[in-house]
Structure 1
Amino acid sequence: MPRERLSVVVTRRLPEAVETRLSELFDVRLRDTDDPMTRPELVDAVKTADILVPTLNDQIDAGLLGQAGEQLRLIANYGAGVDHIDVATARQRGILVSNTPGVLTDDTADMTMALILAVTRRIPEGLAMMQKGGWQGWSPNAMLGGRVGGRRLGILGMGRIGQAVARRARAFGMQVHYHNRRRLRPEIEDEHEATWWESLDQMLARMDVVSVNCPSTPSTFHLLNARRLKLMKPSAVVVNTSRGEVIDENALTRMIRAGEIAGAGLDVYEDGVNVNPRLRELSNVVLLPHMGSATVEGRIEMGEKVIINIKTFEDGHRPPDQVVPAML
């Protein structure tokens, strides 16, 4: 007698290839629209599914997990970040959590470099001028930006993505510096020609560009707060492709408006889609709609990771990308 297929609930629309494969392997419930699930829909999902496949928009907190049925045994997150999931509570209830690390590293690092170039070379300002038909021709002093080569780049969080940013930055002739919870092994530092700063404060005071590449955890919330942002040079810029909560967005906005920081390139925001309206008014701020990992290839590879984690669990083994509280 064939084994009954696992019940899988997916909270958002995924690439067609991923949805097709999920449908072939499991008893899957897919979304008809790309709207996030409402809280009642999430409650129904955890009450009925064997496997939940959420995304970063879904708050899988203790209250939701408390309403889960006994059949829910795996939360196979579609994404690397799991700050929206109460991993500790899930573990206490015997629910495993997995994610999709590694597949978005290069895509996010590419976007980090794009933001660095966009801010320092004033690309969006030039684009806006051309779209409005305001260009009057070439001039020696028009649209002057700054040269990237030779600038000091301070990477906050030297994990997979941070190191990928370092490789790209070196190719552009930047000097790589970093602050991390733990110093990298000497051979890795040598590979990236990277200088470690034990003191984040001291690093920030000396950098021309600061790139945020650390995860969102209780210890990194507002890591770049008003006090630390004031340590930066007025000519420095900040780029964030990680999580918005790492930066005190209001403080950053005030300082850019006051000319105390030269600019910023942001792909993520402290309050999700509710971007500080004052940021939108600043010509030296580049805002993107959380598209750092938005490539067709990356999204499909994320889905493949989700499927592998579910299949491995179904076969009675530990998912290869299982997340435990000690990792956070």
Structure 2
Amino acid sequence: MTDKSDTRRVSGKPRVIVTRRLLPDTEARMGDLFDVTLNEQDKPMSRAELIDAVRSCDVLVPTVTDTIDRDLIDAAGERLGLIANFGAGVDHIDLAAARQRRIMVTNTPGVFTEDTADMTMALIISTTRRFSEGFRAVQEGRWSGWSPSAYLGHRIGGKLLGIVGMGRIGQAVAHRARAFGLRIVYHNRHPLPEAVENMLAARFEPDLDKLVAEADILSLNCPATPETHHILDARRIALMKQGAYLVNAGRGELVDEKALIAALAEGRLGGAGLDVYENEPDVPAALLKLPNVIAMPHLGSATEEGRGAAGEKIIANIRFWADGHRPPDQVLDTLI
């Protein structure tokens, strides 16, 4: 765990800079408690703006749209003591560099679990049933009426769902999938306790290649790390069943997009439901042109309840830190 010297007491209101717009109630509460600067335009901050921010604040509140790498952390002023991330994922933050500068990092774990699992399940259903194609036909005036052979998708009951990453979100997806009659196999660094496996009716598969080849629907719910970068690359995509479906509500970096586009265009895969992309917000035009792709604008956590709860966690983390106490959501060294 981070050394106790990383905590500090701030005299007066801590200087806080928030990189994106948050919910109004969260911003108002921050204004009452802290000396806060908000991003009124709600546009991703430029590199120069981020450098100016870390040089002048006690606390930076970034989101997944901000790259907090070693160079940025090295440019920080002596005041910066806390990076209070909005979101559970911290793959955009160089934790080792922060540790070396004795800058604490916190996140907001658990608040988006149910929302992201809902999104994953929606993508599973929508992709296998070709809802996106049907919607486009109606929207573009191409629908000519009901037909017994039009827009035929697949029933998901009885199909095998392969889940890569069985943390909070993966387990929440499995819980929902079981209610829809899906058979569940998962891959994880370690198997879940037997009691949890029994509750979810889930089977552990230690061989990722075998799971990929076995699944009718593959759901990626693991974090982005150097080890998981392109975990679904061209070789593994080639292992997938003819007509299998991919759903990714995790991180765009998990998938080799070029290889995925090729497999979809060639008809080797049945379709893909995507909420994240390799180079957000840039989405390849070739991907968007494919009729068997549902592309969402990173909406997995987009609920008022989840975003509000994340704001509450951030405020609590800042207050604990500013008072010289260890924040409840400190990111531990084990994640570095």
Could you tell me the TM-score, scaled by structure 1's length? 0.98
- Structure 1 regions of 5+ residues with no counterpart? none
- How far off its partner does 1:124 sit? 1.1
CA–CA distance in structure 2, aligned partners of residues 64 and 247 of structure 1: 27
Aligned to 2:306: 298
Alpha-carbon distance between aligned partners in 2 of 1:132 and 1:41, rounded to the nearest angstrom: 42
63, 75, 88: which one aligns with 1:55: 63
CA deviations on 1:183-206 (whole Å, 9 max, x unpaired) are: 111001001000000100011111
Residue 307 (structure 1) aligns with: 315
Contact 1:88–1:324 (Cα < 8 Å) also in 2: no
Correspondence for 1:71 among 79, 96, 99: 79
Q: Name the structure, 1 or 2, with higher relative contact order (CA <8 Å, separation 6+).
A: 2
1:150-207 CA-to-partner distances (Å, cap 9, x unmatched) read 1100000000000000000001000011000011110010010000001000111111
Q: Which runs of 4+ in 1 moved over 6 A?
A: none
Alignment-derived partner of residue 105 in structure 2: 97
**Where does residue 26 of structure 2 map in the other structure?**
18
AA aligned opposite 2:124: I
Q: Does 1:181 align with 2:189?
A: yes
Gaps of 5+ in 2: 1-9
C-alpha deviations, 1:56-91, integer Å up to 9, x for none?
111111111111111110000011111111011001
C-alpha distance after superposition, 1:78-124 (max 9, x if no partner)? 11111111011001100000001100000000000110111100111
Of 163-172 and 56-65, the range deviating more from structure 2: 56-65
* Paired position in structure 1 for 2:207: 199
What does residue 283 of structure 2 align with? 275
The 1-side partners of 2:151 and 2:264 are apart by 19
Separation (CA, whole Å) in 2 of partners of 1:189 and 1:95: 38
1:39: which partner in 2? 47
Match of 2:161 in 1: 153
Give the SS at the match of 1:262.
strand
Offset at 1:296?
A: 1.0
| Matched residue type, 1:205 | A
**1:233 aligned residue:** 241
Q: How many residue pairs end up in the alignment?
A: 327
Partner of 1:132: 140
Q: 318-327 or 224-233, which moves further after superposition?
A: 318-327
Question: Is the counterpart of residue 117 in structure 1 residue 125 in structure 2?
Answer: yes
Tell me, in whole angstroms, the C-alpha distance in 1 between the residues paired with 2:83 and 2:194: 37
Among all aligned residue pairs of Structure 1 and Structure 2, give the percentage whose two residues are the same amino acid.
Answer: 55
Aligned-partner Cα distance in 1 for 2:129–2:68:
40
Q: CA deviation at 1:317?
A: 1.4
With the length of structure 2 as denominator, give the TM-score of the two structures: 0.95
